[in-house]
Amino acid sequence: MTTIAVLADPPRDGLVATDLAATSPLTEAEAAEWYAAVLKDVCVAVDRSGGDLLVNYRPDDLLPDEHVTETASEAAVRAVAASALDDLGDVRFEPQVGSNMAARAGNSVTHLLREEGVVSAAVVEPTIPFLTRPIVDNAAMKLRRSEVVLGTSTRGRVYYAGFTDPIDFTDAFADPSLETLTARGRDEGHDVDFLPVQPVVETGSDLLDALPLLNARVDAERIVPVHTATVVDELGLRIDYDGAEPRLVRD
């Protein structure tokens, strides 16, 4: 059984999804709504899988001062998870430790594998709206045969990083993270396997990949990230194909 650490920030304006707000029609407040919706869908996918959900939140002392509020970071993240899941009884909430993403991910994975003795551990971020229970369970199966399993995305990024043995996590998520993590795994003599390509959403251009897939899955009545689809509908996001290049617009 894999423990999946979801690295989460409190969804506050100007703190989360800032690149998305800067490169799309979304305001910082709307980008925070998007982030919260994806966080909900990620938690649902992991909770419904055969893995264990660990919500690894960034505590107040690791947040920029301007984003520390009267509501504690843990409480804000718990509220998001509670709005998506029927029961938080089996969900763990623990603070992140580390000065950057690689350090926080590495500390989580290393602690789970070495201190808690879990068979496998993985990290994901709320940038992958199309994470589903089958993908999480497929990763767990692959981790029975390979020490490192990576979810591949566009432009050399990853949406899932799973391990049965730690690697050197120093700058391990440096671009292109897919190649960097693979190299670190191979440096340790590990076998590395991959999950099917899925779009992550970090910028406006990423939405050009994600929205057609989301709309097609809705039309085909296939599994969709419900909270993300709801926010897209509420925000009136769509792609305009009338010009020379497709572009994001608002209804």
What are the pLDDT digits (tens) for 210-236? 999 999 999 999 999 999 999 999 999
In a domain, 243, yes or no: no
More confident position, 245 or 13: 13
In a domain, 206, yes or no: no
CB of 68 closer than 8 Å to CB of 19: no
**SS3 (DSSP) at 94:** strand
In a domain, 230, yes or no: no
Beta bridge pairs of residue 120: 2
**SS3 (DSSP) at 38:** helix
In a domain, 146, yes or no: yes
Q: What is the pLDDT of residues 107-159, one digit of tens each?
A: 999 999 999 999 999 999 999 999 999 999 999 999 999 999 999 999 999 99
Domain of 34: which CATH number?
Answer: 3.90.550.10
pLDDT of 147 reads 98
Average pLDDT of the residues in 46-52: 95
CA angle 235, 236, 240 (to 5 degrees): 135
Average pLDDT of the residues in 40-53: 96
* Domains: count for the chain: 1
| Residue 235 CB partners (closer than 8 Å, separation 6+) | 26, 30, 33, 34, 250
In a domain, 117, yes or no: yes
In a domain, 208, yes or no: no
Q: Is the pLDDT of residue 79 over 90?
A: yes
Residue type, 61: D
In a domain, 216, yes or no: no
Q: What is the DSSP string of 166-216?
A: ----TTTTPSSHHHHHHHHHHHTT--EEEEPP----SSHHHHHHHHHHHHH
CB of 110 closer than 8 Å to CB of 169: yes
In a domain, 248, yes or no: no
Share of the chain above pLDDT 90, in %: 96
Q: Is the pLDDT of residue 251 over 90?
A: no
Cis status of the peptide bond prior to 199, with omega within 30 of 0: no
Range of the domain at 144: 2-200
Q: Is the pLDDT of residue 243 over 90?
A: no
The CA distance from 51 to 16, in Å, is 26
